[in-house]
Amino acid sequence: MTTKLSSTSRLKALILSPRLLLMPGAWDPLSARLVQEAGFEAIQCSGYGISVTHLGLPDYSFLSMAEMVERTAKIVQAVDIPVMADGDTGFGNAVNAWHAVRAFERAGAAGVNIEDQVSPKRCGHLDGKQLIPLDEAVTKIRACADARIDKDFVINARTDALAVGGIDEVVRRGNAYLGAGATMVFVDGLDSKDAAREAVRRIAGPVAINLVEGGKSPTDWDFAEIEAIGIARVSLPATTLLGAIQGMRNSLAAMKQSGSIRGYEPMVANFRECQQLFGMNDVLALEQTYLGPLRDVGKTP
């Protein structure tokens, strides 16, 4: 009998595989289900997307640990593929980070991002970032590693050092985080292929990056080239959200211009197909099982 791997073991195996792991961002159950439907093997919770869609505010540490855990749990429940949580800066010091890992693990996440910015943090592709001291960051990563119940739970140690201290500081911090128990080092705000090659060559463990449309990410390379460099994982935290925003803008403009709901059908998803995506067929099957044939509303039984 084949034993099914846990989500944590599946995610860790995907990271350690020589193949590049692509993890599009999700901010709610719907976006997560679409990522899964598209055939991706894992999901990155997007703190940016969660903050923007749930609060209408930028990624600036406005969400509490409880809010992030709650939203992550709903994403996990909507899909069958591993989900990486976004733990920001750990929501405080090493003690807070310890509790955050326990909470995300209970919520069903397969791993978590923990970063070395001061709080409030900011998006990794913006200027003006500040880092906490190295010893404080190492202690925080060690606390996260110690907090794990499942030792395959992925600790994705994010460093924003490239914009602050250059590649040498990225390497220094990355190796220190691996020594403290991190599974992978996430180099955020990567702005060149040379920096990616240097990070892979000098960091003694899996290296992750993200690609952000309109951010600092190089636009002249593809996934095959990134895999050839040796990057273990690429997250795409904004792709789904930016695509959704532009899709809504296009369909709203077309509707306003046409004066009806005709003529722009290619811009919108099929309503009946979406019902299936949301699980309405399963609900109808349960109705038939437990309630019998549907009766007309108001009709005497």
Q: What angle do CA 74, 212, 274 make, to 5 degrees?
A: 40
Is 268 contained in some domain? yes
d(CA 262, CA 153): 49
Is 78 contained in some domain? yes
Confidence of residue 124 (pLDDT cuts 50, 70, 90): confident
SS3 assignment for 66-84: HHHHHHHHHHHHHCCCCEE
- The string of pLDDT tens digits covering residues 264-280 is 899 999 999 999 898 99
Is 295 contained in some domain? no
- Note whether 271 and 189 are same-domain residues: no
Confidence of residue 125 (pLDDT cuts 50, 70, 90): confident
3-state SS class at 157: strand
By CB atoms closer than 10 A (0-12, 13-18, 19+), residue 229 is: middle
Which element (helix H / strand E) includes 146?
A: helix 134-147
Is 299 contained in some domain? no
pLDDT score at 123: 85
pLDDT score at 3: 67
The answer to whether residue 2 scores a pLDDT higher than 50 is yes
**Cis previous bond, 206, omega within 30:** no
- The string of pLDDT tens digits covering residues 144-195 is 999 999 999 999 999 999 999 999 999 999 999 999 999 999 999 999 999 9
- Note whether 271 and 158 are same-domain residues: no
User: Between residues 2 and 205, which one has the greater pLDDT?
Assistant: 205
- Note whether 217 and 263 are same-domain residues: no
d(CA 64, CA 170): 28
- Note whether 107 and 222 are same-domain residues: yes
Confidence of residue 207 (pLDDT cuts 50, 70, 90): very high
What is the mean pLDDT of the segment spanning 101-107? 98
- Note whether 77 and 26 are same-domain residues: yes
- Note whether 271 and 205 are same-domain residues: no
CB 45 within 8 A of CB 75: yes
Domain that holds residue 78: 7-244
Provide the strand spans (E) within the chain.
Answer: 21-26, 43-45, 83-86, 111-115, 154-159, 184-187, 207-210, 233-236
For the entire predicted model, the pTM comes to 0.94
- The string of pLDDT tens digits covering residues 3-20 is 689 999 999 999 999 999
- Note whether 206 and 279 are same-domain residues: no
Give which of 113, 135, 109, 131 is closest to 122, Cα–Cα: 131
pLDDT score at 299: 52
pLDDT score at 301: 45
The answer to whether residue 297 scores a pLDDT higher than 60 is no
- Note whether 279 and 226 are same-domain residues: no
Is 1 contained in some domain? no
pLDDT score at 292: 83
pLDDT score at 199: 98
What is the mean pLDDT of the segment spanning 21-28? 98
* Mean pLDDT for the chain overall: 94
Number of domains in the chain: 2
What is the mean pLDDT of the segment spanning 17-32? 98
What is the mean pLDDT of the segment spanning 107-116? 98
- Note whether 283 and 237 are same-domain residues: no
pLDDT score at 293: 72
